[in-house]
Amino acid sequence: MVQYNFKKITVVPTGKDFVDIILSRTQRQTPTVVHKGYAIARIRQFYMRKVKYTQSNFHEKLSTIIEEFPRLGDIHPFYGDLLHVLYNKDHYKLALGQINTARNLIGKISKDYVKLLKYGDSLYRCKTLKVAALGRMCTVIKRVGPSLAYLEQIRQHMARLPSIDPNTRTILICGYPNVGKSSFMNKITRADVDVQPYAFTTKSLFVGHTDYKYLRYQVIDTPGILDRPFEDRNIIEMCSITALAHLRAAVLFFLDISGTCGYSIQQQAALFHSIKSLFMNKPLVIVCNKTDLQPFESLSEEDKKLVMEMKAEATKTVIGQGGEATNDEGVLLTMSTLTEEGVIAVKNTACERLLDQRVEQKMKSKKLNDCLNRFHVAMPKPRDQKDRPACIPQAVLEARAKNAEAAAEKEKRKLERDLENENGGAGVYSASLKKHYILAHDEWKEDIMPEILDGHNVADFIDPDILLRLEELEREEGLRQEQEEDDDFEMDGAELTPEQQADLAKIRKKKSLLIREHRIKKSTAESRPIVPRKFDKARIFTTQRMGRELSSLGINPKEAINRARSKSRGRKRERSLGENDGIDSMDVDDDNKKRRLMPRSRSRSKSRPPNEVIPGEGLKDSMQKSKAINLAKKSVNKRNKEARRGEADRTIPTTRPKHLMTGKRGIGKTQRR
Q: 220 and 93 in one domain?
A: no
CATH number at residue 143: 1.20.120.1190
Give domain status of residue 537, yes or no: no
User: CB–CB of 152/14 below 8 Å?
Assistant: yes
The four Cα atoms 285, 191, 70, 140 give a dihedral, to 10 degrees, of 140
Is residue 168 assigned to a domain? yes
What is d(CA 108, CA 136) in angstroms, rounded to the nearest whole number?
11
- Are residues 349 and 271 located together in one domain of the fold? yes
- Provide the CB-side half-sphere exposure for 114 (13 A, CA): 16
The Cα 655–Cα 242 span in angstroms is: 50
**Structure confidence at residue 324 (pLDDT):** 45
Q: pLDDT tier at 486 (50, 70, 90 boundaries)?
A: low
> Are residues 177 and 99 both part of a single domain?
no
Q: How many CB atoms lie within 10 A of CB 620?
A: 9
Domain end, chosen from 135, 158, 181, is at 158
DSSP code at position 609: P
Q: Which of 51, 32, 49 is nearest to 659 (CA)?
A: 32
Q: How confident is the model at residue 1 (pLDDT cuts 50, 70, 90)?
A: very low
User: How would residue 539 be classed by pLDDT, with cut points 50, 70 and 90?
Assistant: low
Q: Are 547 and 561 in contact, with CB atoms under 8 Å apart?
A: yes
**Integer Cα distance of 451 and 231 in angstroms:** 82
Size of the chain in residues: 673
Instruction: Identify whether residues 204 and 339 lie together within a single domain.
Output: yes
* Total number of domains constituting the chain: 2
Residue 230 falls inside a structural domain: yes
CA dihedral 82, 83, 86, 88 (to 10 degrees): -120
Distance, in Å, from the CA atom of 219 to the CA atom of 214, rounded to the nearest integer, reads: 16
Over residues 156-215, the pLDDT tens digits come to 888 888 788 888 888 999 888 888 888 888 888 887 777 776 666 676 788 888 898 888
The pLDDT value recorded for residue 57 is 94
Say yes or no to pLDDT of 540 above 90: no
Tens of pLDDT, residues 331-386: 888 888 888 888 898 989 989 988 888 888 888 877 777 777 788 888 888 888 88
Report pLDDT for 318: 37
Pairing of the two strands 284-289 and 316-319:
unpaired
Does a structural domain hold residue 607?
A: no
Res 538: pLDDT: 64
Determine the Cα–Cα distance for residues 30 and 304; give it in Å rounded to an integer: 80
Mean of the pLDDT values across residues 87-105? 91
Same domain, 180 and 322: yes
Per-residue pLDDT, 198: 64
Q: Indicate if 214 and 328 belong to the same structural domain.
A: yes
Residue 109 domain-assigned (yes or no)? yes
330 and 194 co-located in one domain: yes
Sheet holding 170-175, edge to edge: 206-212, 215-221, 170-175, 250-256, 284-289, 332-334
* Of 346, 367, 388, the domain-final residue: 367
Q: pLDDT tens, 503-525? A: 889 999 999 999 988 888 777 76
Please tell me the distance from the alpha carbon of residue 237 to that of residue 224, in angstroms, as a whole number. 6
Q: What is the pTM of this model?
A: 0.51
Kind of pairing, strands 316-319 and 322-325? antiparallel
Cα–Cα dist 416/205, whole Å: 42
Domain of residue 251, CATH code: 3.40.50.300
Helices (H), 288-393: 301-314, 343-364, 367-372
Using one digit for the tens of pLDDT, what is the confidence trace for 128-146? 999 999 999 999 999 999 9
Lowest mean pLDDT among 236-240, 286-290, 324-328, 668-672: 324-328
Does one domain contain both 269 and 304?
Answer: yes
pLDDT: which is higher, 316 or 341: 341
- Whether 401 maps to a domain, the answer reads no
The strand pair at 250-256 and 170-175 is best described as parallel
Tell me: do 211 and 127 sit in the same domain: no
What DSSP designation does 472 have?
Answer: H
Using 50, 70 and 90 to split pLDDT, how confident is the model at 328? low
pLDDT, tens digit (0-9, with 9 covering 90-100), for 597-623: 554 444 556 788 888 888 888 888 999
Question: Can you give the residue range of the structural domain that contains 20?
Answer: 6-158
Do residues 87 and 192 share a domain?
no
**205-209, 327-331, 546-550: range with lowest mean pLDDT:** 327-331
**Model confidence band, residue 73 (pLDDT cutoffs 50, 70, 90):** confident
**Whether residue 75 has pLDDT greater than 60:** yes
Q: Tell me the C-alpha distance between 288 and 335, whole Å.
A: 6
CA distances from residue 269 to 109, 342, 349, 452, 637 in whole angstroms, order as listed: 63, 22, 22, 80, 65
Tell me if 107 is assigned to some domain: yes
69 and 185 assigned to the same domain: no
Residue 481: inside a domain, yes or no?
no
Q: What is the pLDDT of residue 579?
A: 45
pLDDT at 249 over 50: yes
Residues 170 and 287 in one domain: yes
pLDDT of 2 > 80? The answer is no
Of the three residues 330, 350, 367, the one that is the final residue of a domain is 367
